[in-house]
Amino acid sequence: MNMHQQGGVASVEGACAGIDVSKTHLDLCVGTTEQRVPNDSQGWGALTALLQSAKVDLVVVEATGGYERGLVCALQSAALCVARVNPRQARDFAKAMGVLAKTDQVDARVLRDFAAVLARHADRRKYITPMVEPARQLLAELMTRRRQLVDMRVAEHNRLEHAGAQARRSIASVLKLLDKQIAAIDAHIDDHMDQHFKLQRQLLDSVKGVGPVTILTLTAALPELGQLGRRQIAKLVGVAPLSDDSGGRSGKRRTWGGRSEVRAIVYMAAIVAMRHNAVIKAFYERLLAAGKPKKVAIVACMRKLLTILNAMLRDQAVWNAAKHLASGPTA
């Protein structure tokens, strides 16, 4: 049975592979074959050739702080199907299988078995890691660097209060340099977005409460925006209420998981929108009038704002307040 390289129906005959990633080396397990190679372009090429010769159906790797990025790109460029999973999910799977030991080789075997499960899952497609366009990858790198610079500037500002005269001069010079660096990277980001994401930027910028940093984060760190349904995008960001029921007990719905960097930005955008965006402000006030706790109402506003932005990109439509003012409260 044939399979599309980025998902689709699982091939019954295809082998599955797991690769444990570390800073210096990669441990592969495919079938009964195990191999260790360096984590560099030469090692990626060797693994790619081996996986292609074995006609591997799906490869599972853990997200490892960026050390897996080059490998994933190399495998995807060779038309191999890759699922990059959260390490917590892989560890939970290992415990469920009774595997309590943890070494690089054991982890590779666990990831191989995890791949075999995902390959035959009915929703296999949603676990496959899509290829990231080079333009979006560069934007994500610029976003990360900007956040690092801003964090350094905040840290230096916090040191000013208790600094002596000599230290203050040093801090001031560092702050001046950081301001110049942030201005330069902001200019680079503006040029890059105008070149590659101009339409998306214009659509998102039409919403009150959605500023430049929110637009940058949604574009770089949430490429699925506009491509998923409202429930899926809410779960991906971590603002969807999750059930906690068992037997006759009906537990509280809580939000959990998701992309924390995106969620933090959507929170700030929702706080601004609750004051300056007529639709979100009216929605928030209706929820409070209905007796909802403030935290629940804020998360509901985050979810509503995200849903609206998702629909705007899906339909390629600018902000239309009249379209959303009539909708009733949900939390």
Mean pLDDT across 316-328: 78
In terms of domains, do 234 and 318 share one?
yes
Answer whether residue 328 shows pLDDT above 70.
no
Residue 331 inside a domain? The answer is: no
Query: What is the structure's pLDDT at 245?
Result: 81
Residue 1 inside a domain? The answer is: no
Answer whether residue 13 shows pLDDT above 80.
no
Task: Tell me the pLDDT tens digit for each residue of 61-120.
Answer: 999 988 999 999 999 999 999 999 999 999 999 999 999 999 999 999 999 999 999 999
- pLDDT band per the 50, 70, 90 thresholds, residue 271: very high
Task: Tell me the pLDDT tens digit for each residue of 197-209.
Answer: 999 999 999 999 9
Task: Tell me the pLDDT tens digit for each residue of 125-172.
Answer: 888 988 888 999 999 999 999 999 999 999 999 999 889 989 999 999
In terms of domains, do 293 and 278 share one?
yes
| Domains of the chain: total | 3
Residue 120 inside a domain? The answer is: yes
In terms of domains, do 157 and 174 share one?
yes
Q: Which of 13, 21, 87, 74 is nearest to 48 (CA)?
A: 74
In terms of domains, do 21 and 122 share one?
yes
Residue 48 inside a domain? The answer is: yes
In terms of domains, do 218 and 309 share one?
yes
Answer whether residue 300 shows pLDDT above 90.
yes
In terms of domains, do 228 and 320 share one?
yes
Q: First CA to last CA across the chain, in angstroms?
A: 44
Query: What is the structure's pLDDT at 311?
Result: 94
Answer whether residue 17 shows pLDDT above 90.
yes
Residue 238 inside a domain? The answer is: yes
- How large is the C-alpha radius of gyration of the chain? 23
In terms of domains, do 223 and 297 share one?
yes
Domain of 178 in residue numbering reads as 134-196
Cβ–Cβ contacts within 10 Å for residue 89, how many? Answer: 14
In terms of domains, do 102 and 19 share one?
yes
Last residue of a domain, one of 100, 127, 154: 127
Answer whether residue 6 shows pLDDT above 60.
no
Tell me the pairing of strands 249-250 and 245-246.
antiparallel
Last residue of a domain, one of 103, 127, 151: 127
In terms of domains, do 91 and 25 share one?
yes
Answer whether residue 5 shows pLDDT above 50.
no
- pLDDT band per the 50, 70, 90 thresholds, residue 327: low
In terms of domains, do 141 and 232 share one?
no
For the ranges 10-14, 52-56, 67-71, 112-116, which has the lowest average pLDDT? 10-14
Q: What is the mean pLDDT of the chain?
A: 91
pTM of the predicted protein model: 0.83
Which residues face 17 on adjacent strands? 30, 59
